[in-house]
Structure 1
Amino acid sequence: MLPRFLTASYPMERHYFMVPKFALSLIGFYPEQKRTVLVKLWSFCNFCILTYGCYAEAYYGIHYIPINIATALDALCPVASSILSLIKMVAIWWYRDELSSLIQRVRFLTEQQKSKRKLGYKKRFYTLATRLTFLLLCCGFCTSTSYSVRHLMDNILRTAHGKDWIYETPFKMIFPDALLRLPLYPITYILVHWHGYITVVCFVGADGFFLGFCLYFTVLLHCLQDDVVDLLEVENMEMSLSEADEIRIVREMENLVDRHNEIAELTERLSGVMVEITLAHFVTSSLIIGTSVVDILLFSGLGIIVYVVYTCAVGVEIFLYCLGGSHIMEACSNLARCTFSSHWYGHSVRVQKMALLMVARAQRVLTIKIPFFSPSLETLTSILRFTGSLIALAKSVI
C-alpha cells in the first residue's frame, strides 16, 4: 500500500513542492519558512555541521590516497555529494527571496487553470513531481542510513570475535582524538550521522525545486496550448467571423501571448537561480557515479550494498534534472505544433500574425540555461556514456 500522499486521491494543492518543503524545513532553509531566531540558529548550526563534515571527509580521503586507495575512495566518494549539498544549501539561502517569489507566482498562475482538462494536467504532473522527489528522498535516506548500519554491523562482528570496537564515524572523517573516545564519542557519532541526513535533505530540496518548477512550467505550457487551440477554433470555415468576434479574439490572443512571455521570463529567472547548482551537478555527476561503481568493485559484503544504494541515489538525482528539462522542451514543441495545426488561417491578418509569432517563439524551446549543458534525457545518455569511460579507465589503473 502506497502512502496516501503518493496516490491520485491526495488533494492536488497539497502536492505543490510538498517534498522539498518538508526536506528543507527540517534544516531551516525553506524559502517561505518564517525566519525566527530559533530557525536562524538551527539553520546556522546545520550549515556548520555540513561545512565541517565536508572538510573532515576531504582531509581524510586526501590523507589516505598514498596509504590505501580503497579507504581513500570510501571517504572521497560521499564527500563529493556533501560538497554539492553545501553548494545547494548556500545557493538556496542566497536566492531565498527570488525562490519565494517564484514559488508564489507559479502557484498563482497554476491556480488560475481550473477547467477539467487543465485539472487533469495538474493532477498528472503534481503527482509525478511528488512521487519522483519522494523516491529521491528514500534513496538518499537509505544511503545515509546504510553507512551507519555498515559501521555498526562491522563492529558487532568484531566484538563477536573478541576484537575491540573501532571508534570511527559512519562517514570517514578526521576528528581530534578526544572526540573519538568515550564519553564524547556517541555525540560525535550522532552529529556525523546527522551530517549525512543534512546532505540528503539539501539535494532533495534543491533537486525537488528544479524538477517541480520544470513540471509546473510544463503544466502552464499545456494549459496555454489548450487555450490557443480553443480560441482559434473555427466551426464553419465558410462563414467569416464578425468584427466584434475578431476584436475579442485579438484581445484574448494578446493575453495568451503575454502568458507565454511570462512563462519564458519565469524560466529565465529560474535559470539565474539554479545555474550554480545545476552546473556543479552536471560537471561532477560522471565523477560521482564512476567513483561509486569503482567502490562497488573494490568492496565486498555490506560495502557493496552501501555503494549500490548510493549509485541508485545519484542516478535518480541526475535523472530528475534531465527529465524536467525534457518535459519543458516537449511542451514547447507541442505548443508550436498544435498552434500551427489550429485554424489560425481562418482569422484576420492580425490574428494570423500573432499565431505565427507564437509558433516561432515556441519553436525556440525553453530550457534552464547553464553553461555547456542543457538538461535533457539526451544529456543523461552522454553522461552515462562518459561515466562508463571513467570506470574503464579506473579499472585499468587500479
Structure 2
Amino acid sequence: MKFRFLSPDTPIKESYLLIPRFSLRVVGCWPQRKVPTFIGILHFLASSSAVAFGAFGECIAGALTLNQILETMEAWCPGVTKQISLFKMWIFFVHREKLYSMIERIEQLLTADSNEDKKKIAQKLSVIASILTVILFVSANSTNLFFNTRPLINNIIRISNGKNATLDLPFKMILPDVLTHYPVYPLTYISMSYSGVMTVFTFCGVDGCFVGLCFYISALFRMIQYDIQELFGHLQYHEKAGRRDNQIMRQELKVIIRRHNEVIDLCNEFKDIFTTIIMGHFLSASLVVCFSVIDLLYNTGIGLVLYVCYSIAALSQLFLYCIGGTYVNDSSLEICDSVYLVEWYKCDAETRRMILMILIRAQRPATINVPFFTPSLPTFMGILSTTGSYIALMKSFL
C-alpha cells in the first residue's frame, strides 16, 4: 500500500476506500455482490470468533474483578471495543450485497464526469478522508502492538533486574490454569494477539468506510453545486436569458435534478445500513474514552504509552463519525445557497419553477441521523463533556 493515495493529484479510482478495503479484506468481510466461497466464510468465522473470544473473555474478567476498579477498567476498555467491533463486522457481513451496490454506485458517480475541476473537488475530500483514516489506522495498530508486546517488554525488564519472568498475557482474562501455563501458554498468547489484530482491522475498516463514504457523498453534493454555478454563470453578462438559453438550461436542470435525487437516495440507503452501527458506537463511546483516559492517568512506563495511543484511537473513531455527518449535512445544505445566489430571476417562468424545485428540496438537509441524535461536531463536543463528567466521577472512587 503506497502513500500516493494521500496526494490530491491521485485519481479517485486509485484512492477509493483504499485502507478500509485492505482492512476488511484482512478480516474477511469486505462487501461483495457474489456469495462468499466456503473458504471466505471460514475466514470470516475465524476472524469473528477471535474477536468474540476477546470481547466476552475480557468483559467477564472485568465483571469478576469489580472490587479492583483499575483492573476492571483495564479489562473492559479493550473488551467493550471488541464487542462493538464484533457487532460492526456482522452488520457488514449480513449487508455485504447492499453495501457493495452502494459503494460501486458512489464510485461510478464520482468517476463518470471528466471535468477536471469536479475531479479536484472529489480528490481533495478523498485526501481528507484518507488522512483521518490513516490517523485511526496508525493509532489503533500502535495500541494493539503495545498490548501484545507489553508482557514481553516487562519480562525483559524483570530479567535484567535479576527477577523471574512471569506468564502474563496481552489482555486481562480469567482463564483455566491449563491455558495460562506451558505448553499451552504460547497458543493462548497468540490467540489473544490474533483477537486484537482482527479487532483493529475491523473497526479501522468499518469506521474508515463510514467516513470515506460520507466525504464522497459530500463531494457529489459539491459537484452538483459546481454544475449549478456553471450553468447559470453566463447570465451575468446578459440582462435576460434568451429563449434558446432557457431551453438549454431546462435540459441541464433535468439532469441535475435527477442526479441530486440519486445522491439523496444513496444517502438514505447509506443511513439505513449504518444506523445500528452508529447507535452501537455512540452508546459505548463515552465509556471507552473514559476507561482509556483513566487507565492513562494511572499507568506508567509502556502502559502510559499504550493508553496514550488508545485514547487517540478512541477519540479518532468518535471524531470520524462526527466529522463525516457534519460534512454530509453541510454540503447538502450548501446546494440551497448555490441555487439562491445564481441569477435565476433572468430566466423565464418555466425555468424558474425548475429552479424552485431544487431550492425547496435542498432546504431539507441530507443528514446521517439516527434515533435521538445526529453525528456532528456539536455531538462530539457533548460526548467529550459527558466523558469528562464520567472521569471525574470515576476518580472519586479511586
The answer to which of 332-341 and 270-279 deviates more is 332-341
Rounded Cα–Cα distance in structure 1 between residues aligned with 2:3 and 2:320: 21
Contact 2:53 2:195 survives alignment (8 Å) = no
Rounded Cα–Cα distance in structure 2 between residues aligned with 1:120 and 1:114: 11
Q: CA offset at residue 235 of structure 1?
A: 4.3
The residue type paired with residue 365 of structure 1 is P
- Per-residue CA deviation, residues 320-374 of structure 1 (Å, 9 max, x unaligned), is 1111111112212321111100011111212212212212222211111211121
Q: In structure 2, what is the equivalent of residue 334 of structure 1?
A: 334
1:283-322 equivalences in 2 (<5 Å): 283-322=283-322
Contact 1:214 1:328 survives alignment (8 Å) = yes
Rounded Cα–Cα distance in structure 1 between residues aligned with 2:3 and 2:266: 32
Contact 1:325 1:374 survives alignment (8 Å) = yes
Rounded Cα–Cα distance in structure 1 between residues aligned with 2:122 and 2:369: 25
1:151-190 equivalences in 2 (<5 Å): 151-190=151-190
The answer to which of 70-79 and 166-175 deviates more is 166-175
1:171-320 equivalences in 2 (<5 Å): 171-233=171-233, 234-242=235-243, 244-320=244-320
The residue type paired with residue 297 of structure 2 is L
The residue type paired with residue 241 of structure 1 is G
The residue type paired with residue 71 of structure 2 is T
Structure 2 residue matching 1:397: 3-state secondary structure: coil
Contact 1:6 1:131 survives alignment (8 Å) = yes
Rounded Cα–Cα distance in structure 1 between residues aligned with 2:304 and 2:273: 37
Q: Return closer, same or farther for 1:49/1:348 CA change in 2, 3 Å cut-off.
A: same
Q: CA offset at residue 231 of structure 1?
A: 1.7
The residue type paired with residue 230 of structure 1 is E
Is 1:365 matched with 2:365?
A: yes
1:26-41 equivalences in 2 (<5 Å): 26-32=26-32, 35-41=36-42
Rounded Cα–Cα distance in structure 2 between residues aligned with 1:214 and 1:155: 45
Q: In structure 2, what is the equivalent of residue 52 of structure 1?
A: 53
Q: Return closer, same or farther for 1:10/1:338 CA change in 2, 3 Å cut-off.
A: closer
The residue type paired with residue 341 of structure 2 is S
Is 1:137 matched with 2:137?
A: yes
- Per-residue CA deviation, residues 285-329 of structure 1 (Å, 9 max, x unaligned), is 111111111112222222221111100000111111111111112
Q: In structure 2, what is the equivalent of residue 119 of structure 1?
A: 119
Q: CA offset at residue 239 of structure 1?
A: 4.0
Q: Return closer, same or farther for 1:226/1:10 CA change in 2, 3 Å cut-off.
A: closer
Contact 1:25 1:33 survives alignment (8 Å) = no
Q: Return closer, same or farther for 1:259/1:252 CA change in 2, 3 Å cut-off.
A: same
The residue type paired with residue 375 of structure 1 is P
Q: Return closer, same or farther for 1:206/1:256 CA change in 2, 3 Å cut-off.
A: same
Contact 2:148 2:193 survives alignment (8 Å) = yes
Contact 1:28 1:39 survives alignment (8 Å) = yes
- Per-residue CA deviation, residues 117-151 of structure 1 (Å, 9 max, x unaligned), is 10111220122222211221111100111112222
Q: Return closer, same or farther for 1:33/1:4 CA change in 2, 3 Å cut-off.
A: farther
User: In angstroms, what is the RMSD of aligned CA positions?
Assistant: 1.7
The residue type paired with residue 208 of structure 2 is G
Taking structure 1 as the reference length, the TM-score comes to 0.95
The residue type paired with residue 46 of structure 2 is C
Contact 1:340 1:356 survives alignment (8 Å) = no
Structure 1 alignment gaps of length 5 or more: none
Structure 2 alignment gaps of length 5 or more: none
Rounded Cα–Cα distance in structure 2 between residues aligned with 1:391 and 1:240: 63
Q: CA offset at residue 33 of structure 1?
A: 8.1
Structure 2 residue matching 1:203: 3-state secondary structure: helix
Rounded Cα–Cα distance in structure 1 between residues aligned with 2:60 and 2:163: 28
Taking structure 2 as the reference length, the TM-score comes to 0.95
Q: Return closer, same or farther for 1:335/1:28 CA change in 2, 3 Å cut-off.
A: same
Q: CA offset at residue 176 of structure 1?
A: 2.4
Rounded Cα–Cα distance in structure 1 between residues aligned with 2:213 and 2:9: 22
Contact 2:171 2:192 survives alignment (8 Å) = yes
Rounded Cα–Cα distance in structure 2 between residues aligned with 1:3 and 1:44: 31
Q: In structure 1, what is the equivalent of residue 6 of structure 2?
A: 6
